[in-house]
Structure 1
Amino acid sequence: MKKLLLTAGISALLATSAVAQTIGVSVARFDDNGLTIMRNGMTDHVDTLDGVDLQVEDAQDDVARQLDQINNFVASGVDAIIVNAVDTNATDAMSVAAASAGIPLVYVNRQPINMDTLPDGQAFVASNEVESGTLAAFQMCQDLRAQGKSGGAQAYMLMGQLSNQAAVQRSKDFHDVIGMDMCNFITLIDEQTANWSRDEAQDMMTNWISSGEPFDAVFANNDEMAIGAIQAMKASGLSMEEIVVGGVDATADALVAMQAGELDVTVFQDLAGQGAGSIDTALKLAAGEEVDKTVFIPFKLVTPENVADFLN
C-alpha cells in the first residue's frame, strides 16, 4: 500500500513539473511609468494562472544587456521569452537566438524592426501606433479650431527615443495630421527628442519658452513628456487655458493633469492589457498553437469630456 502511494505521489509530482512553465521577460527599463503598468499587467495576469512562473529582468536601456538576458533565458531553458525591446532596430539577433533554440518569442509594446520576417513561433503584441499619434493630433487640431485659431497656429513636438518605433510612428502621425487640409493651419516650430522623460521635456520646453517664440500647442509622444512641458509652462507663468497640450498613454498622472485643466488630450494605451496579452500569446506559442503574428490592443481617445471613464 505504501509503495502504491509513493508511486502515485511521484507520478503526481512529475505531472505537476510537466505542466509548470517559466517565461523569461526582458523589459527595456523598470524606471518607466508606462512600462511599469505593462509589467504589472503581466504579473497580475500570471497570478490568476496555475503553474506559470515569470523571470523578469531589467535591461536598463542597454541593448547588449538585453541580448545577454535573452541568451541567458535560452541557456536556462525557459518555455517562452517576452521582450520589450530597448532598441527596436536591434531585434534581429534576439529573434535568431530564440529561434535557434526553438523557444517561442513575443515582442511586446515596441514593434521589432524585423516584424515582416519574424520566424515561426514569434509574435508581436501591442497597440497600433498609427492610431495613437493620429487620434491625439487630430483632436488637438479640433481643439485649436474651437479656440478660433484656424487662421494660423504654431506648435512644438517632443519626441521619444528615436531608436524606438513608437516614437518614430507617433511623430509621423503628427506630421501626417498637420498635412491634412483641415489641419494645415498648424505650423511646427521645432521638434526635439526628450527621450520619453519628464525632466528632459521640462528642460527642453524651458529652452523653447526662453526663445520668445509664441506657440499655441505642444504635442508629446507620451504623457511623461507632456507633463514635463506643462511644468515648464506653469513655471514660466503661461496660461494653460490658451495652450493645447497632448500626449499618449493616459497614465494616472496624465489623468490628474487633465482633471486640473492642464492636459487637453491623451490616448489610452492599454499597457496592462498588452502585458497580459503577451503572456497569453507566449503560452499559446509554447503549447504549439497558431497565433496571429500581430495582436493589437485598441487605443482610445481621452479628453476632459470622457476622462472620468478612465479613472480607477
Structure 2
Amino acid sequence: MASINTTYRLKSPPEPLKEMIRRGVPAEFRSTVWMRCSGAYLRLASNPDEYYTILKVYNGKSSVATKQIKMDIRRTFPEHKYLNSPKYMEQLSNVLTAYSWRNPTVGYCQSMNFLAGYLLIHMSEHEAYWTLVSIVEDILPQEYFTTTMIDLSVDVRFVFPDLMAKKLPRLNKHFTKNGLSLPLLMTQWFLCIFATTTPTETTFRIWDVFFSEGSKVLFRFALAMLKINEEELMSCQDYNDLYSLIKKIPSKMYDADHLMEVAFQKLGSMPMKTIDQKRTDCRVIAMDEYVKHQSARNGLKRQSQHITKSELKSGTKRWSSQLIFKEV
C-alpha cells in the first residue's frame, strides 16, 4: 500500500497552464487535468492494484466508518436522478469504503461523500479513489478530516480571519461590530471545497484551480465571494440579517468568470509561504486548546463517576451546574 506521507503532486504548474486552468477546464478534460495536477495519476500508476486489493481483502468486513458510510450514501444526492442511482451509489460506497480502510486515522468524515460524489461525475471509481487520496493526504493539511479537525480549525479560526482583516478591513470591522464570527460557515465551505454551497459548474471551476494551485485558493474564493457582496453586507446592520445573507452568498455565484477575476485580480498577493507559516504558528495554539479541552472533559468524566445515586436524585444546584458545564 502506498505511504500516506508520500507526495506525488505537481507543486507549481507552469504559469501558462495555471492561467488556462483559471479560465476553465473543458468537461471532457477535467479528469485528466485534475488527476495530473493533484498527483492522483502518478499515485495510480505507482500503485495500480491497491484500490481493488483493498475492496477484495476487506469485502464483507465492517467498521465504525463503513457503518457511517452506509447511512450517508442515500442522503448524499437524494434529489439527483443520476447521482441517486443504485449503480452510482455502489461506486460511491466503494470509493469511500476503500479509503476508510486505507487510512484508518481518518476513516470516514462526513463531507468526503460529497467530494467523492463529484469526482465520480468526471472519472471512474478507481480514479476517484486516488484523487480523493490526493485531496485528503496531499492538497489539504493532514488533519482536515480527522476526529480532531485541528488543521481545519486553524484555517477557519486563525488563517482566514487574519486574511479577512488584511484584504477586507472595512467588512471585517463591520462583522466585528455586529458580533459576527465566521468559523462555522467557513467550515462548511472549506470542508466540502464549496461542493454543497456553490452552483455545480462553479464548484467544478473552483476545483479546477484547487487541484492546480492548492489549498490556499479556498481563502481566495471565500474572500472573493464576500468582496463581490461587500456593499450589500455593509448595508446589513443586524446580526441575523448578516448571517442569513452570508449563508446564501455561495448559492448565487453563477458567474464563475467574475468570481475568478475577483479572486485572482482584486485581492492582491497571498503567498503560500505566508499561509503555511501562519498555519504552523497557530497550530500550536489550536493543539494546546484541544489538549486542555480534552483534559477538562476527562476530568469531568472522572468526577461524574463518583456521583452517588442519592446525589443524582437530589438534583442539587452543585451537581446540576457540573452537568451543565459538562455539556458545554
Asked if Structure 1 and Structure 2 have the same fold, meaning a TM-score greater than 0.5 normalized by the shorter chain, the answer is: no
Higher helix share: 2
When normalised by structure 2's length, the TM-score is: 0.27
When normalised by structure 1's length, the TM-score is: 0.28
